Structures are given as C-alpha cells and as structure tokens.
Structure 1
Amino acid sequence: MSIKFNENNHPYVELGGGFGICINRAAYEEDKQLRVNDDLPEETAKAVAEFRRLAESKRNLNLVVDQSNWTVMLYLKCYENDAKRSFALIDYGYRLLYKERGYALPYAQIRHVFEEGLIRYLPECDDDGAVIFIVEMGRRWDPSKISLNEFIAAIRLSGLATMLNPDAQKNGCRVIFDVDGLSMSQISHFTPKSSNFLFDLIENCTPIVTKGMHTVNNGMLYNVLWAILKQFMSKELRQKTYMHGKDWNSLTKHINPRCLPPRYGGVLEAPDCDGKIMAEFLQHYEGYFVEYNSFGYTDCPDSK
C-alpha cells in the first residue's frame, strides 16, 4: 500500500488487488498552474466578473475572485456559471466560519484524525457514481487524543477534499457513520453548538449533494445522541438519514454490496486504507485547504 501517481500526475493510494483511492485532481501547485494558464470560455469569464462584483459589495469580505481561486471556479462549474447562486454558497460558508473559526484548523493540527483511520474513502463509487466515505465515531475515537473540535474540523476538510472529486461534483456522496462502541463519555462531548455547525456545514456550505447518511452499529446509547443531533437537521436531511444498526440487508438496499467491506455486509475485497497512508495522500491537497482558509470575513459580516 503506497502513494503513486497516475498518467495525469494525480496522486492516488494503491491499495493492492487492483483497487485504489483517487480524487482525480492534480495536487495543489500543479492544478493552480493549469487553472491560471487556462483560457476561460466567455460565459465563464462573465460569471467570474459577476461573482467578483458580488464579493466586492460585501463589507469586510477578503476574497480573491479570479481563476486562481479553486473554490470560485468549482462552485461556478457545479452551478453552471450561475454567479448569484455560487456566491451565495461561498458567502454563507465564510459567514459560518467567521462565527466558528475554531473549526478552521490547519491540516497539520488534524492530520492525526486521518492517521487514526477515523475518516477514509472507499475505493468504489456506488451504482449512481456517488462517492462513499466512512466516519468512525465509536470505540476507535478517543476524545482524550482527538477532541470533538478536531474531529469536526477534520470532517470539514474531508468535505473540501470531496468537493475536488469530479465524481462527487457530478454524482454526490454517501456517508457511513460507524458508531460501534459509542460511549456516554463520548456523547457528553457533543454540544448544540458543535451539532449545529456540523449539519450547517453539510447542508449549506458545499455544492456536493449528500445523497444519504447511513449510521451503522448504533444501539440504545446512540439514540440519546440522535435525539440531540436531529434537532439541528433540516427535514430534507433527516429524510436522507438512515439507522441500520447491524442490519446489513438494510444498508445494502441503499449502497451496492460490491462497494462495501464484508464487515458492512458487502463483498468488496479491497483492503482498508491505512490511516497514515490516507493522511499522506491528503497532504498533497493541503494547498487547497490553506487557500480556502486564507479567505473570509475579516470583521463582522453585513446582514444579508
């Protein structure tokens, strides 16, 4: 298991057995050069200009709006050059981060979350092309080593990485929350503030469609946490949330078994990605995270 580069010089994790994990995007510095040297179609150039006008109308918003900014270009791509819709999304995200800067941690401070294997991608997309990743919030999570703040910050950065994936841009994603062995001491770390931020992030700050959130290995204790969490979810997101427990037949009604490891009722023969390898893989994309975090509101945003 190692990091390699494909014919397009995109980093990927070679898992073995013909399986690999790839975002299908060049590492940051190479990608930036490709973008700044690219000739923009007229429609896109007009959309960038309108995006810039909207950004400049916002007091205290520090945001470079040109083709060097990967987020601007990505949002315009996902929303087919709809500048107003694209700007509304990025503006909301930066307003949220202004209120909750504690979740905008640099990669170096949360790399250990990935090294511990708490967040990882599966190598196979679902039948509809959706990207699948796993978040382990049960017995493998030790709050004395990884605070909830760090955990949520890592989920946020994994969301930014998912945004870079063309498959996710086109087909969305599905998330599996494994809460096997969740304890009351872990539940006690959740607060209304952290729960609200997490779901606000998922619902309102990304162009990637969340097609399903699937909780597995949940028991009675998780029901206590769920009673807290669901208060901060919209009706639409609650309708996309499924509790499977250990009923793998239930899970595989939503996700093809060929995409899932045997421990989740699937037949995927790929080995689990080693946490240290996953952390090394995401290191190639750190520049994207740094750039996103470098912009935002420098003082209180105007009311909308």
Structure 2
Amino acid sequence: MEVYKCSLPAAAKQHAAEYLHEEEERRNSDICQIVEWLQAQPHLNARCDPVNVVRFLRGCKFDLEKTKHKMSNYYKLRAQCPEWFSQRDPCLPEIQELLRLGVFLPLRHRDSHGRLVVLIRVAAHNPKKHRQSDVFKVGKMALELALEDDETVSVFGVAAVFDLSGVTLGHAMQLPPRVVKKAVHAWQDCYPVRTKSLDFVNAPPHVNVVLSIFRQFMTEKLRQRVHVHGCNLASLHTVVAPELLPREYGGSDGTLQDLIDYWQHHVTEKREWFLQDEKYMATT
C-alpha cells in the first residue's frame, strides 16, 4: 500500500492534533484500516490513495466508523447525482461558460483561521439559460480541485461567502426544497471538509424566506454558522479580511476578473484529472 507522506506545515499539524484527534503515531494504522475496509467494499469503487483517505479521517475527527459512513455517503452521492458528477469535462461549452461567469471562486489566500474562503456568486448565471445542476457541478469541481491543491483545507475547513446581488425569482425557483435538501446533505454528510461559516452578503430583505428552507435541513451546529450581512461590506470585512477579497468586495487582492481567469484556466488545465476522477462512484 502507498505510504502517506504528510505535507502539512507545523501550525496545521498542531491544529490537526488538537482539534481533529490526529496522532502521527496512529495515523498510518487508521489509514490502513480504512483502506482495508474500502477494499472489502468493491461496490463503492472509491479512491484508496492515503491522501484522499486521510482527508475523510480529518473530516470525521479520526472516528473510524464515522469515516466509513461519510465515505459511503460520498461515493453513493456521486452515483445517485449524475447531474453533478458525470460529464465533468471542463472543455464542455456549458462548463466553460459557467467558469467564465465565475459562479464559484475559492480565494487565493487563507483567512486568519487558516480556512479556505470560497466566494459563491449565486446570481452570476442566467436561470433561463443555465441549469442549476451545472452550477452545482462547476462548484464541486472547483472545491475538489482546491482540496487536491492544498492539504490544509482538510484541516482548517471552508468559509463560504454567498453573494446574493442580482438574485431573482428565477434563481429561487431553481432551488426547490428537494434540491436544497440534496445540497445540504452533500455539505453535511458527504464531503470530507467541514463548513465553518456561511456568510450571506448583498442579501435582499426577503432573503430569510429562502434561507429558512435551507435551515430546516441543516444540523443545529451548521444553523449557528449562518450569518446575513445585508449590503454591508464592512460587516463582511469583520469575518473576511479585506486583503483576501477582490476589489469589487472592498478588498485589495486583485480584481474579480483576475480570480475568474485563474479558476477557469486551472480547472481547464486539470481536464485529465477530472476525466479520470469521474469513474469513482458506487455501483449499487
């Protein structure tokens, strides 16, 4: 079996030990136990490389049974939601167009807590033209690539910033309760990364009507991490430092177009990785 080689910096190792129960002496044994379990679950057709396995272990604070449950959920989700996990060739026109619009943009630098901050531009797409399932697909592609790029994301987690400017009834109608339930299930129960905060900016007055649908499917812990900032960028800046944000959000780290161009290029250049990754899913 391939041996795990830790690439974490010292601060991330300390955080993983203190908050995720990651013990260097036991880590390889835990990885081996999960790999052996996966090999006895051929119907999951999962990635068994140690970096991927340790990502799930961290997401479950090294609880082996919870790790098995989350991995099972994840690979079943991939099979049950082909609209999100199949046809993920970045060169497909519908994916290129959403990449050009910048619907899901991980920021370039980590916040003061070490977290990956992701800017989700909820209304960047045209609901009359673009399918919500393709928007989710592109978001998941960018997130998975960010996880592959930086191992610390599995340690410190993700802070999501939802920009609701320009949201219309058409956007809301793309998110019926069954779709919302599936999206929340993916965040909470399937992906091997913890969502540390959900911040909504440029929110219209009626946003709580929509958010109430999301909240009913969330755990109490996740509900407590939802914050609405209205159109107050100063309020957002108390959560995400301006030096991390593009100029359009009152920040100083380049422009929104710079960020869009980076992720369009990065996702596209990883075409072969996405094509190979598509095969990993449950078969029953």
Counterpart of 1:75 in structure 2 is 56
Q: Post-superposition shift, 1:224?
A: 3.3
Q: Post-superposition shift, 1:226?
A: 1.9
Candidates 271, 276, 280, aligned match of 2:265: 280
Residue 229 of structure 2 aligns to a residue whose secondary structure is strand
Contact 1:135 1:177 (8 Å CA) reproduced: yes
Q: Is the counterpart of residue 114 in structure 1 residue 99 in structure 2?
A: yes
2:48 & 2:207 partners in 1: Cα distance?
43
Counterpart of 1:156 in structure 2 is 140
Counterpart of 1:50 in structure 2 is 33
The superposition leaves residues 95-120 of structure 1 with CA deviations (integer Å, 9 ceiling, x where unpaired) of 22333222213143434322212221
Candidates 135, 148, 152, aligned match of 1:167: 152
Counterpart of 1:94 in structure 2 is 75
Residue 254 of structure 2 aligns to a residue whose secondary structure is coil
Q: Post-superposition shift, 1:146?
A: 2.0
Contact 1:116 1:276 (8 Å CA) reproduced: no
Q: Greater share of helix residues, 1 or 2?
A: 2
Using a 3 Å threshold, how does the CA distance of structure 1 residues 121 and 39 change in structure 2: closer, same or farther?
Answer: closer
Q: Post-superposition shift, 1:276?
A: 4.2
Candidates 38, 41, 44, aligned match of 1:61: 44
1:184 & 1:64 partners in 2: Cα distance?
40
1:166 & 1:39 partners in 2: Cα distance?
11
Contact 1:103 1:153 (8 Å CA) reproduced: yes
Contact 2:71 2:190 (8 Å CA) reproduced: yes
Counterpart of 1:297 in structure 2 is 282
2:135 & 2:145 partners in 1: Cα distance?
15
Note the 1:1-304 alignment, pairs <5 A. Answer: 45-58=28-41, 60-63=43-46, 65-67=48-50, 70-76=51-57, 83-105=64-86, 106-108=88-90, 109=92, 110-138=95-123, 140-164=124-148, 165-264=150-249, 266-272=250-256, 273=258, 275-299=260-284
Supply the AA of the counterpart residue of 1:283: T
Counterpart of 1:30 in structure 2 is none
Contact 1:215 1:242 (8 Å CA) reproduced: yes
Aligned alpha-carbon RMSD (Å): 2.9
Residue 278 of structure 2 aligns to a residue whose secondary structure is helix
Normalising by the residue count of structure 2, what TM-score does the alignment of the two structures yield? 0.79
Normalising by the residue count of structure 1, what TM-score does the alignment of the two structures yield? 0.74
The superposition leaves residues 226-263 of structure 1 with CA deviations (integer Å, 9 ceiling, x where unpaired) of 23222222221111111111122321222223223344
2:245 & 2:5 partners in 1: Cα distance?
41
Contact 1:48 1:66 (8 Å CA) reproduced: no
Once the two structures are aligned, what percentage of the paired residues are identical?
A: 18
Residue 86 of structure 1 aligns to a residue whose secondary structure is helix
The superposition leaves residues 180-236 of structure 1 with CA deviations (integer Å, 9 ceiling, x where unpaired) of 011112211112221112111212223322221111111134333223222222221
Contact 2:89 2:274 (8 Å CA) reproduced: yes
Q: Post-superposition shift, 1:287?
A: 4.4
Mean CA deviation greater in 89-98 or 102-111:
102-111
Q: How many residues align?
A: 261
Residue 212 of structure 1 aligns to a residue whose secondary structure is strand
Contact 1:48 1:65 (8 Å CA) reproduced: no
1:76 & 1:43 partners in 2: Cα distance?
12
Q: Which runs of 5+ in 2 are unaligned?
A: 7-23
